Amino acid sequence: MATSFIALGSNLGDREILLQAALRYLAGLPYTQVVRSSRWQETEPVGGPPQGKFLNGVAEIQTGLSPQNLHAHLQQIERALGRPAVRERWGPRPIDLDLLTYDDIVLETPDLIIPHPRMQERPFVLQPLSEIAPAWKHPTLGKTAMELLAITRGLRKEFYS
């Protein structure tokens, strides 16, 4: 079984209900269990057109699915919860599920990059990740979730070296 972290976000509809539904879908995936999830936090949108605030969180799962199969299931969950397959980049959405990590695998394909290529720049990912896994270490940057969060908040002068 692999440990994976999934970022969850919503800024359309009843955000909390959609996020809870996404967690239930995750728990129902084959060979998968949700180990824990962070609290939801309200955040401002980053990029894209003007839109409402997000609720964001992170879930830790254990899965026997491959990274590619897990990613495909996340996309199916998004569609089941009302996210259209074709959408505006960084536009408003009822649900957003991002595969952040899969064990310490580093993977780059046309459809999937692990670890998520922008997670280290996003406090709305790092804050909930730090809540549930503060000592998790980024496989290429060598920094913990807490260290990366401190960097994004400008509390430390070093960058990703």
- Is 118 marked active-site? no
CA–CA separation, 31 and 50 (whole Å): 39
Indicate which residue of 79, 87, 89, 96 is catalytic. 96
- Phi, psi for residue 26 in degrees, rounded to 5: -60, -45
- List, as one string, the DSSP characters of 4-40: EEEEEEE-SSSHHHHHHHHHHHHHTSTTEEEEEEPPP
3-class DSSP string for 73-112: HHHHHHHHCCCCCCCCCCCCCCCEEEEEEECCCCEECCCC
- Is 93 marked active-site? yes
Indicate which residue of 14, 39, 83, 111 is catalytic. 83
Q: Please calculate the CA angle 31-15-125 and round it to the nearest 5 degrees.
A: 65
Indicate which residue of 24, 87, 89, 98 is catalytic. 98
Indicate which residue of 15, 79, 87, 93 is catalytic. 93
Single-letter amino acid code for the residue at 151? I
- Is 83 marked active-site? yes
Residues marked active site are found at 83, 93, 96, 98
